[in-house]
Amino acid sequence: MSKLIIYTDGGSRNNPGNAAIGVVVHLPTGSKGYSETIGTATNNVAEYKAVIFGLKKAKHLLGGETAKKTDVEIRSDSELIVSQLRGEFQIKEDSLKLLFVDVWNLKQDFKSVAFDYIPREENGEADALVNRALDTLF
């Protein structure tokens, strides 16, 4: 495998509030979707946790040796998170700095990791997974 695309989304109701993540990993054998609630968090924390979950899940699905040879593209509808992960925006919140470090460390498990901003309309599957998880709480 040379390239893997992962769609991520995170959200919270009442920001901060009940939060969840949604991740869709596109594999040659088809796509796999994942969602889970993550407790109380802000939208931005949920977005970061979705990226972290996506990278961990990709490594698990690929295996360590294959992951090292794989280029990963993370697609997110969070302009802030993508800009921070690209190094274009400063990270001012301490909680996000810690999550940034987690993402940075996980990037080392792959050949390369790119972060791309996409419009919300192009992230419908991951968004639906977030909302499905949040709906289980109410």
* CATH number (domain holding residue 90): 3.30.420.10
Looking at the structure of the chain, the number of domains it has is 1
Angle of the 43-62 helix axis to the 124-135 helix axis, nearest 10: 110
CA distance 79 to 36: 22
Instruction: Give the structural domain span for 105.
Output: 3-135
* Contact between 23 and 34 (Cβ < 8 Å): yes
- Tokens representing 7 are 């769609």
Per-residue pLDDT of the chain (138 residues; tens, 9 = 90+): 589 999 999 999 999 999 999 999 998 889 999 999 999 999 999 999 999 999 999 999 999 999 999 999 999 999 999 999 999 999 999 999 999 999 999 999 999 999 999 999 999 999 999 999 999 987
From the number of C-beta atoms within 10 Å of its C-beta (0-12, 13-18, 19+), residue 120 rates as exposed
DSSP letter assigned to residue 46: H
